[in-house]
Amino acid sequence: MTDNKYKMVGNVPSDISVVRFATVRAQEIVALTKMIENPQTTKLIFQKLPCHMRRRAMSHNPNRMPRLLREAHKSQMAKSGPALKPKRPRRKYRRRPSRLLEEYKKRSSKMSWLETHLWHAKRFHMTAKWGYRLPEKSCARGHRFCHRSVAEHCLLVDISYLCCIEIQGPQNAIIHELAPLCDPKTGPTFGASSFLNGTREGRVTIFQKNSFSRGPIGLVTFLWRHGETPDMRTLWIWCHPAFYEQFLVELNSSYGSNSDSLIEQTKIKITLNKGKLNRFRLRGPFAHSVISNLLDKEIRKVFIASQSPGFVAGVDVRDPRMILPQSRVKEHTSVPSQCETVITSRSRLWDASVRDQIAQVRTSFPDYVVNGRRSQLLVPGSELPLQPEEIPIPLLIVNASHESS
């Protein structure tokens, strides 16, 4: 043990020259000082700390730094200048209806919103598809509830993303121009006698013009306006937004126009009603019972479900907010033995002026006005009295076919 100690000490010199030692180490000291004064990295002091010593608020709160590094950190913060903290408006101001409306318009400028978007956005994961913001899947576990509603009650689905194209003109001219887009072998087309009177909705597969072998474009539904003369007819065609643009190209080639919004040639006029009409689908055994509760008492006696598939009924209803019950009620499926009233396929929904007028009246009756009137009712949950400024809302009820159900 002693020998090893002497060996270790024997390698150390007995004396040292301070001047020579400092001269040799001077270059190292100068290089170290230069590196400390002029660091090559751009990190701040709080960014050089180990991970276990870092805090989230160090960038704006020097007191979260270690005590020995606070002064240096404050000097770095002083060089960058004081941080400007903009005054954030109160939440009550930010959530005003006018500001919410402006925000919704700004957010819906790129992707179109359905009128039920806010309801779905609170309950579903939304996705961008076909130029719309559509609900993809529920945030909660509601799959069993939806299945039970379809099997035992009624389930409503918003399909307002379907695009409507309106064609006006002579009946023969409309059918003649649409004939190259349809294959008669696939079933009845636009000129079928069962659809021309406007009492039934038809379904047909659209192909490329005179090219049935190239594959179909898509399946569309169509409806003729009831009660018109053959000299001037109106046809609505509903197509899926996935092939909406391609279908417009085929229509442009058929009518010899390149317009995207309005096609005019002789007496034929095509208007795009995309986003102007709402369409809902009800599925379930109580679907017709739910609809009948919105109808007038005289029209309610008519059993719509007894009509054949594809039958179209035109009715006028009140604003559902005026007749909304206080609590949910069980629907009745009793069918009257005799129908005293006959429902026709005529509807004011075809007139664009009527739709614009209803939209203006709707803005004059916001929800808070309706809720204020309902709170003054003597019997809660009863119907509000009819006001002279109210306008009935036209509806077109289409009995779903067995193929689409």
- Structure confidence at residue 341 (pLDDT): 45
Select from 321, 336, 349 the least CA-distant residue to 289: 336
Reported as a pLDDT band with limits 50, 70 and 90, residue 69 is confident
Burial label for 398, CB within 10 Å (0-12, 13-18, 19+), is buried
Mean residue pLDDT across the chain:
78
Which residues touch 196 (CB under 8 Å, ≥6 apart)?
171, 224
Q: At what angle do helices 244-255 and 171-178 cross, to 10 degrees?
A: 120
SS3 of 166, please?
A: strand
Q: What CA–CA distance (Å, rounded) separates 246 from 251?
A: 9
The predicted-structure confidence for 77-132, as pLDDT tens digits, reads as follows: 787 776 667 777 778 877 777 777 787 778 777 788 888 888 888 888 888 888 88
- Give CA–CA dist 316/323, Å, rounded: 14
| CA 267/CA 173 separation, integer angstroms | 9
**Rounded percentage of the chain residues whose pLDDT exceeds 90:** 1
* Integer Cα distance of 286 and 333 in angstroms: 7
Quote the tokens at residue 154.
């009624």
Please name the residues in contact with 329: beta carbons below 8 A apart, sequence gap of 6 or more. none
What average pLDDT does this structure show over 145-151? 84
What is the tens place of the pLDDT at every residue in 230-264? 888 888 899 999 888 888 888 887 776 544 444 44
User: How does residue 358 score in pLDDT terms, banded at 50, 70 and 90?
Assistant: confident
Domains contained in the chain, CATH given:
2-80 (no CATH), 163-272 (3.30.70.1400), 284-398 (no CATH)
Question: Is 60 exceeded by the pLDDT of residue 402?
Answer: no
Closest CA to 396 of 308, 283, 278: 278
Tell me what the mean pLDDT of segment 365-381 comes to: 77
* Residue 147 to residue 138: CA distance in whole angstroms: 13
With cut-offs at 50, 70 and 90, classify the pLDDT of residue 405.
Answer: very low
Using CA atoms, how far apart are residues 52 and 71, in angstroms rounded to an integer?
A: 21
pLDDT at 299: 62
For residues 328 and 354, the answer to whether their CB atoms sit within 8 Å is no
pLDDT at 357 over 70: yes
Token digits of residue 238:
């509903």
User: How sure is the predictor about 209, in pLDDT bands with cuts at 50, 70 and 90?
Assistant: confident
Among 5-19, 289-303, 345-359, the range with the most confident prediction by mean pLDDT is 345-359
Average pLDDT, integer, range 322-339: 59
pLDDT given at position 79: 78
Q: How confident is the model at residue 10 (pLDDT cuts 50, 70, 90)?
A: low
What is residue 218's predicted lDDT score, i.e. its pLDDT?
86
Q: Which pLDDT score is estimated for 263?
A: 46
At residue 68, does pLDDT exceed 60?
A: yes
Q: Is 70 exceeded by the pLDDT of residue 197?
A: yes
Q: The whole model's pTM is what?
A: 0.66
Query: Higher confidence at residue 42 or residue 116?
Result: 116
What value does the mean pLDDT take over residues 21-33? 84
55: pLDDT confidence band, cut at 50, 70 and 90? confident
- Compute the distance between CA of residue 405 and CA of residue 401 in angstroms, rounded to an integer: 6
Instruction: Give, as one character, the DSSP assignment of residue 47.
Output: G
DSSP helix/strand/coil, 362: helix
Residue 353 pLDDT > 80, yes or no? yes
pLDDT of residue 311 exceeding 50: yes
